[in-house]
Chains A and B, each alone.
Chain A
Amino acid sequence: DAKTTQPNSMESNEEEPVHLPCNHSTISGTDYIHWYRQLPSQGPEYVIHGLTSNVNNRMASLAIAEDRKSSTLILHRATLRDAAVYYCIPFSYSGAGSYQLTFGKGTKLSVIP
Chain B
Amino acid sequence: GQNIDQPTEMTATEGAIVQINCTYQTSGFNGLFWYQQHAGEAPTFLSYNVLDGLEEKGRFSSFLSRSKGYSYLLLKELQMKDSASYLCAAGMGTDKLIFGTGTRLQVFP
A binds B: no
